[in-house]
């Protein structure tokens, strides 16, 4: 923190994503100190000597997002190290994405005075601190892409879920509308993706939907490729 002896500092930045009311949302924290005082930023922090990168990410998750390690899927995305990205000095930041199911509102604590979930659609006019817009975009693209080839979409859902909910994850993250019937067939017939349960979800006005839980597989073969639909919706 003392900027007398020039050195490189290493930090982690977290893109915490969840679905809230069917909209893909990211957790941002309002900065209380310069630089970028008052701007919204991704949660993050410097790593200590001897601290593992993942441990630092989980620490930030607990301190700034009130989230335990069991609540999210954490994954390293990319490292940002341009010399000018932080006016305080040379900060190399390892960015992670954390995905979870309907994550709770952040609690005010020692470190954090103001923090909230932002639906991505509402974020266009919000300037982010540092290079966090690029960091966020990088994690978003990673998440969108991994939905194609992996079973990662399930991390956005509770332990038991319906096919409609799963389709909702894809639609929200991709910003695309998927055919319900075709998606149902694809999801249920992809080996290792889902395990069918004997129970059904309470009806939401129509035929009750069967419940599923995550299957043993981690990759989708063949993948579930997004195609240029374009038409989308927050919900």
Partner DNA sequence: GCAATAGTGTCTTTAAGACATTATCTT
Partner DNA sequence: AAGATAATGTCTTAAAGACACTATTGC
Residues in contact with a copy of itself by the rule CB under 8 A: 6-10, 47, 49-53, 76, 78-79, 81-83, 89-90, 92, 94, 222-223, 225
Written as six digits, the tokens of 159 are 């332990």
Among 209, 213, 217, 234, binds DNA (CB under 7 A): 209
Residue of 61, 41, 68 whose CA lies nearest to 130: 41
CB of 161 to a copy of itself, least distance (A): 28
Alpha-carbon distance of 119 to 18, in angstroms, equals: 9
Sign of CA pseudo-dihedral 175, 181, 187, 190: negative
Q: Which does residue 182 bind out of a copy of itself, DNA, none, counting CB within 5 to 8 angstroms by kind?
A: DNA
Binding region for DNA (CB under 7 A) out of 2-10, 32-40, 150-158, 221-229: 221-229
> Does 181 participate in binding DNA (rule CB under 7 A)?
yes
Q: How far is CA 99 from CA 3, 25, 82, 105, 130, in A?
A: 34, 10, 26, 14, 22
Q: Which does residue 92 bind out of DNA, a copy of itself, none, counting CB within 5 to 8 angstroms by kind?
A: a copy of itself
* Cα angle 141, 143, 148; round to 5: 100
Q: Which does residue 108 bind out of DNA, a copy of itself, none, counting CB within 5 to 8 angstroms by kind?
A: none
Q: According to CB under 7 A, which residues from 160 to 179 bind DNA?
A: 162-164, 179
CB of 121 to DNA, least distance (A): 21
Alpha-carbon distance of 33 to 101, in angstroms, equals: 31
In sequence order, the β-bridge partners of residue 168 are none
**Number of DSSP helices (H) and strands (E) in the chain, helices first:** 4, 9
Q: Which does residue 216 bind out of DNA, a copy of itself, none, counting CB within 5 to 8 angstroms by kind?
A: none
> Does 207 participate in binding DNA (rule CB under 7 A)?
yes
Q: Which residues form the interface with DNA (CB under 7 A)?
A: 162-164, 179-182, 184-186, 188, 200, 203-210, 222, 224-225, 227
């Amino acid at each position: 923190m003392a900027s007398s002896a020039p050195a490189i500092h290493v930090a982690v930045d977290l893109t915490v994503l969840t679905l809230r009311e069917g909209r893909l949302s990211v957790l941002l924290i309002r900065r209380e100190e310069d630089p970028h005082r008052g701007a919204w930023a991704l949660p993050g922090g410097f790593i200590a000597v001897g601290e593992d990168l993942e441990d630092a990410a989980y620490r930030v998750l607990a301190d700034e997002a009130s989230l335990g390690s069991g609540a999210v899927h954490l994954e390293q995305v990319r490292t940002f190290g341009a010399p000018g990205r932080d006016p305080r000095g040379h900060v190399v930041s390892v960015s992670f994405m954390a995905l979870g199911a309907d994550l709770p509102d952040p609690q005010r604590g020692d470190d954090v005075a103001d923090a909230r979930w932002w639906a991505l659609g509402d974020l266009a006019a919000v300037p982010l601190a540092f290079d966090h817009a690029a960091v966020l975009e990088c994690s978003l693209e990673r998440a969108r892409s991994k939905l194609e080839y992996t079973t990662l979409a399930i991390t956005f859902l509770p332990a038991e879920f319906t096919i409609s909910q799963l389709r909702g994850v894809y639609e929200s993250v991709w910003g695309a509308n998927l055919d319900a019937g075709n998606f149902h067939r694809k999801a249920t017939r992809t080996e290792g993706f889902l395990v069918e349960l004997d129970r059904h979800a309470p009806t939401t006005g129509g035929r009750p939907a069967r419940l599923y839980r995550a299957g043993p597989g981690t990759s989708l073969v063949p993948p579930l490729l997004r195609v240029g639909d374009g038409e989308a919706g927050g919900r």
